[in-house]
Structure 1
Amino acid sequence: MGVPFVDGVLDSRAVRATGAAIAAMQESSGALPWFPGGKTDPWDHVESAMALSATGFRAEAEHAYEWSRRTQRSDGSWPMELRGGDIVDPGVDSNFCAYLAVGVWHHFLIVDDAAFLRRMWPTVRAGVDRAMRFARDDGAFRWAADHRTGDMFDNVLITGNASIHSSLRSAVEIARILDEPAEHWVRAADQLAAVFDRWVVDRSVLDAASNHSMDWYYPVLGGVVRGDSGRALIDDRWSDFVVDGLGARCVDDHPWVTGAETCELAMAVESLGDVDRAARLVESIQHLRDDDGSYWTGLVFSDGKRWPVEQSCWTSAAVVLAADAISRATPGSGIFRDIVRGGVVSGVPRLR
């Protein structure tokens, strides 16, 4: 397996160093916090584990997935936020519950280890089934719930729903490999895709887009808006969010570019076939790179100050995953590109 790279921007050694920087932030429990001593949330934890897989840190990635397996609650959920192993926010996020499927599928594509897939299957199944309880009759997923009462919030978020689509498609592929039933997940993914069909022409179908760039590009990244519709969606707000030579804004009303959003946008445009633009986006945020290979979260470009003053694990992870999507260095490089309407089109290794 190769190590990701971006021609003329990052060679494989540089990307491997970024993987090492992520591994250095891992807690002894296996948790991958936002930064040393910071909070851990189950979604960003998985994204960081994916970057470890892509850079050859297999043991560390599997330690992270064991953390997910071990900390899952009996109802299939994880707390929204932990710090040093202590629960800070016990709430339940539907997207957080489902996202483990993407990470597990990604790791399997890279390592082709049937034992890993079987070991993680009960955790993936429980998480996705917990997320399924948030589905409305129309196919959209509510955002979150109070863990104590089970009461759900009515919000149906654009980013969360797009991400859940990719999770459902990944979970279906895992089930298919293991010969497990998943027809209810297929139906849910198809219904959710139909929600986005309606959303493309009627934005009232989901909650109104926030000022965050994620609500702009995530329907493409999550595989529910592609082709001409996806390109039109990206082009529509490109000038609102992308600052030439500096990266993409996190929000549209502040002079603040962030590495993770820029690299997720790069993966979105790469999934539309625009590899050159994806590479330019990754190149544009190299001003955030530190000497050890880690990345600062963002830059307030109006005054040239890094903010927040932290080298976040998930920012480094997004750089690695974008580099892999561009270079197609690992068998998991299509984890977002290949999650499409109707299923996953990537080549699948055989169980052994």
Structure 2
Amino acid sequence: MTHLTYGDPIPEDFFDGARSRILDLQRDNGAIPWYDGGVIDPWNHTEAAMGLTVIGEVERARLAFRYLMETQLKDGSWWGQLGSAVPFDEDDHYTGGDEGAGKPIRDTNFTAYIATGAWHHYLITRDKQWLGTIWPHVEAAMQFVVAHQSPHGDIRWAANDPHTPEDDSLITGSSSIYKSLECAIHIAQELGKSSHDWAAARTRLGEALRDKPHRFDRTWESKARYSMDWYYPVLAGVITGEAARRRLASKWDIFVAEGKGCRCVLDQPWVTVAESAELVMALLVAGERQKAEALLSWQHQWRADCGAYWMGYQFVENVAWPAEKPAWTAAAVILATDAVTGATPASRLFAERTLAEAAE
């Protein structure tokens, strides 16, 4: 297993397979589906774009961001999971009616993630003109997201459409939004724009995630069996320091399979590479560098012969499962490796909280 630590150079050909996988999946219009024949969603698409930026594929990353700019809806949101048994034209535009089964959702977390991708891209390229070009799209997206914040601080999981009536919030999604607000504020400050409302929204969201657990999973079954609900508040910087270390220690033994990785769900013998890579970054935020380096080193055994990463591994049956190599899985490992080694100027973004809350 390859064991990398801070300051280590990433071997020149280390991510050739991951690079080829993302580039092969990317369409001419910039869209990056999950895998061959898979759906497209704004969050995983943006994750893949960030992976491209880290490995030097700046123009292909910008093509991906251009796709986001061209497909953004008038209210600042995006449809989720384009192509998932839903009618779309060849340019990935929804062609169905206003209501009905199968219509995609307008997810607040998916919408917010453009801010994280844009700030990450700027940290590496330092292209302020490009940042100014994407700014109106970031601003519209974040306005959509903040408009769905409740008086209690939590943010509704999706737009209040007829087919998404649940007035509820998700811990993982809200944590990711917290990080996206951090990035949106950085962008606004860099461009001399106002960010006061976003800073206040981020503070309220952080307070809700830390102190108001009753505001999440109110109308559906708890998502606590999913590892992301465990580590995402740490990864996003909602919980830091000793509290973060306690949180990760509290469920380490039930979610982490030694020598393999992080389970997706606690009751299945299935480690997933993307979740493992995200946990690597959460460990860095918590100051647990040795654990982060070890966990990252375990992931490289789940590479296919082509060098791309399998989605996960079922370790009772000893098979890669499902037999897919998603673009976002490759990107997650690239981002985690950057965070561990400090290879790019964006490496700190997912290794620490880079902005205090407004009241701090």
TM superposition score normalised by structure 1: 0.90
Q: Could you tell me whether the CA contact under 8 Å between 2:9 and 2:343 is conserved in 1?
A: no
Partner of 2:20: 20
Cα distance in 2, alignment partners of residues 302 and 198 from structure 1: 38
Confirm whether residue 259 of structure 1 aligns to residue 273 of structure 2: yes
- Following superposition, the deviation at residue 25 of structure 1 comes to 1.4
Alignment equivalent of 1:206, drawn from 216, 239, 243: 216
Name the aligned partner's letter for residue 26 of structure 1.
Q
Residue 133 of structure 1 corresponds to 147
1:21-100 equivalences under 5 Å are 21-83=21-83, 85-87=92-94, 89-100=103-114
Tell me if structure 2 keeps the 8 A contact 1:190–1:342: no
Q: Which residue does the alignment assign to 1:6? A: 4
Q: Answer yes or no: is the 8 Å Cα contact 1:223–1:336 preserved in 2.
A: no
From the superposition, tell whether residues 10 and 174 of structure 1 become closer, same or farther in structure 2 (CA, over 3 Å): closer
Partner of 1:115: 129
Greater mean alpha carbon deviation, residues 15-24 or residues 32-41: 15-24
Kindly indicate whether the alpha-carbon contact (under 8 Å) linking 1:91 and 1:146 is maintained by their aligned counterparts in 2: no
Is this contact kept in 2: 1:156–1:206, CA < 8 A? yes
Distance 2:9 2:258 in 1: 16
Give the Å deviation of 1:94. Answer: 0.7
Task: Tell me, in whole angstroms, the C-alpha distance in 1 between the residues paired with 2:254 and 2:268.
Answer: 11
Name structure 1 gaps, 5 residues minimum: 345-352
- Alpha-carbon spacing, 1:189–1:146, altered in 2? closer, same or farther (3 Å): closer
Mapped partners of 1:75, 1:92: distance in 2: 10
Q: Which of 217, 220, 227 is the aligned partner of 2:234?
A: 220
Out of 84, 97, 118, the position equivalent to 1:104 is: 118
1:64 alignment partner AA: A
Report the residue type matching 2:216 in the other structure. L
The alpha-carbon deviation at position 9 of structure 1 amounts to 11
Correspondence 1:286 to 2:286: no
| 2:170 paired residue number | 157
The CA deviation string for residues 264-306 of structure 1, in whole angstroms up to 9 with x for no partner, is 0000001122222111111112221123321110111111111
Query: What does residue 194 of structure 2 align with?
Result: 181
Query: Cα gap change, 1:211/1:151 in structure 2, threshold over 3 Å: closer, same or farther?
Result: closer
What RMSD over aligned residues (CA atoms) do the two structures have, in Å?
2.0
The DSSP-based 3-state class of the residue aligned with 2:200 is: helix
TM-score normalised to the size of structure 2? 0.88
CA–CA distance in 2 between the matches of 1:342 and 1:221? Answer: 15
CA contact (8 A) 1:250 1:256 kept: yes
**Where has structure 1 moved over 4 Å in runs of 4 or more?**
7-10, 149-152
Output one character per residue of 1:296-346: Cα deviation in whole Å (capped at 9) or x when no partner.
Answer: 1011111111111111111111100000000000011111234356259xx
One-letter amino acid of the structure 1 residue matched with residue 193 of structure 2: E
Match of 1:243 in 2: 257
> Taking structure 1 as reference, are residues 64 and 78 closer, same or farther at Cα in structure 2, changes over 3 Å only?
same
SS of the aligned residue for 2:349 comes to coil
**Distance in 2, Cα, partners of 1:253 & 1:9:** 37
Cα gap change, 1:175/1:292 in structure 2, threshold over 3 Å: closer, same or farther? Answer: same
Structure 2 stretches lacking a partner, 5+ long: 84-89, 95-101
- The 10-residue stretch of structure 1 (96-105 or 17-26) with the greater mean CA deviation from structure 2: 17-26
Given that 2:148 and 2:156 are in contact with CA atoms closer than 8 Å, whether structure 1 keeps it comes out as: yes
Number of paired residues?
336
Shift of the alpha carbon at 1:182?
Answer: 1.4
- From the superposition, tell whether residues 12 and 229 of structure 1 become closer, same or farther in structure 2 (CA, over 3 Å): farther
Secondary structure at the counterpart of residue 82 of structure 2: strand
Distance in 2, matches of 1:9 and 1:89, equals 45
Counterparts of 1:56 and 1:187, CA distance in 2:
35
What is the aligned counterpart of 1:274 among 276, 280, 288? 288
- 2:99 is matched with which residue? none
Percent identity between matched residues is 38
